[in-house]
Amino acid sequence: MNHRTPQQATASDGRANDGGGPTAAVRLEGITHEYGASGGRGRSSGDRTVTALQDVSFDIQAGDIVGLEGPSGSGKSTILHAVTGLLVPTAGTVELLGTDLTELSDRKRTRIRRRHVGIVFQRFHLLPSLSARANVALPLVQAGIPRSTRRERAETLLEQVGLGDRSTHLPGELSGGERQRVAIARALVTDPDIIVADEPTGELDTATGDDVLDLLTDIGRERAVLVASHDDATLSVADRVVTLRDGRVVSNAG
Ligand code: ADP
Ligand code: MG
C-alpha cells in the first residue's frame, strides 16, 4: 500500500486547518446527539427523544487506531455514524481531514465519505448475489472507475487480505472470517484515509477474529482507524481507547 499523509478533504467550502499542528484525520468536538429530535439540529420535541451522545470530543491522527469501548447502548455506533457522515449530530462538529461535515450539504457529505472513509460492519453487509470480487469493486462503481480497473483493483485487494483464490466465490460460499476479510477489502478499495469498523469481530470465533485484527493493525499503520468493540482482544490492537458510558466519554487513554 502507498504511504501518504492526510490531505485536506476536497469540499469546495471546506475550511482550512485552524493552525497549530497537523490536521487530524478525525476531530470530534462537542458532539451531542438526540434521536427523535424533530427538525434535526438544535430542536428537540418532548419525551420521545433519546440523548445518545453528550459533549463527545476526541481526535484521531493518521496512523492511529482508536478503540471505542462501552456497554451496549453507550453510543458507539452513533459516533461511528457521525464520523461517516451518515448521521449529522444535533450539536457539535465532525471534522474529517480539516473539513466540518456538519456544515455540508448531503451531497458533499456523501462525496467525502466515498472518497475518504471505508466502513466495516459487524455483519459484513455483502451482497449475496455478487462474487467476492464484485462486492469489493462496488465502491468503485459509485466512483465511476472503469470496469477493467475495478476488477484489477478488487483482485489486488483480495490478494492483500489473503483471498486471492476466492475472488469468484459468492459470500455464501465463504466462512465468516473470509466474509469479513472481503468486507475489509471492500472498505479499502477506494484507498480511504479513514477506516471505521463497528464490532468487526463480533460474529467471528477467536482465531478468525485474530486474523481480522492483524489486518486492522496493518491498515492502521498509515490510516486513521476507529474501531468500536466491547471485546478485549479487539481493543488490544488500539493505540488509544475511548471509553463511553451513557453517551459520555469517561476515559481516553493510550
Ligand atoms: P452502542 O453502539 O454503544 O450499542 P448506539 O449508538 O447504537 O449504542 O445507541 C446509543 C443510544 O441511542 C441507545 O440508547 C439507543 O437505544 C439509542 N438509539 C440508537 N439508534 C437509535 C435510533 N435510530 N432511534 C432512536 N434511538 C436510537
Ligand atoms: Mg453498536
Spans of all domains in the chain: 26-253
**Residue 204 C-beta-side C-alpha neighbours within 13 Å:** 27
Which pTM value belongs to this model? 0.88
pLDDT of residue 51: 96
How many other CB atoms are there within 10 angstroms of residue 128's CB atom?
Answer: 8
Instruction: Of 47, 4, 70, 83, give the one whose Cα is nearest residue 248.
Output: 70
Query: C-alpha 114: how far from its chain's center?
Result: 11
Q: Whose CA is nearest to atom 25 of ligand 1?
A: 35
How far apart, in whole angstroms, are the C-alpha atoms of residue 19 and residue 21? 6
Q: Pocket around ligand 1: residues whose beta carbon is below 6 Å from it?
A: 35-36, 50, 52, 70, 72-78
Mean pLDDT, consecutive 10-residue segments, the chain of 254 residues? 45 44 90 81 64 97 96 96 96 97 96 94 91 96 92 95 96 95 95 95 90 91 94 94 97 92
For residue 26, report the distance from its CA to the centre of ligand 1, in Å. Answer: 21
For residue 77, report the distance from its CA to the centre of ligand 2, in Å. Answer: 4
How far apart, in whole angstroms, are the C-alpha atoms of residue 150 and residue 94? 31
User: How far apart, in Å, are the Cα atoms of 224 and each of 34, 60, 62, 73, 80?
Assistant: 26, 6, 4, 24, 13
pLDDT of residue 2: 43
Q: Whose CA is nearest to atom 21 of ligand 1?
A: 35
How far apart, in whole angstroms, are the C-alpha atoms of residue 95 and residue 218? 24
C-alpha cell at position 211: 486474523
pLDDT in tens, 133-144: 999 999 999 888
Average pLDDT over the chain, rounded to whole? 89
CATH T-level topology, domain 26-253 = Rossmann fold (3.40.50)
How many other CB atoms are there within 10 angstroms of residue 69's CB atom?
Answer: 22
CA torsion through residues 203, 177, 212, 60, sign = negative
Q: Would you say 233 and 61 are in contact if contact means Cβ atoms under 8 Å apart?
A: no
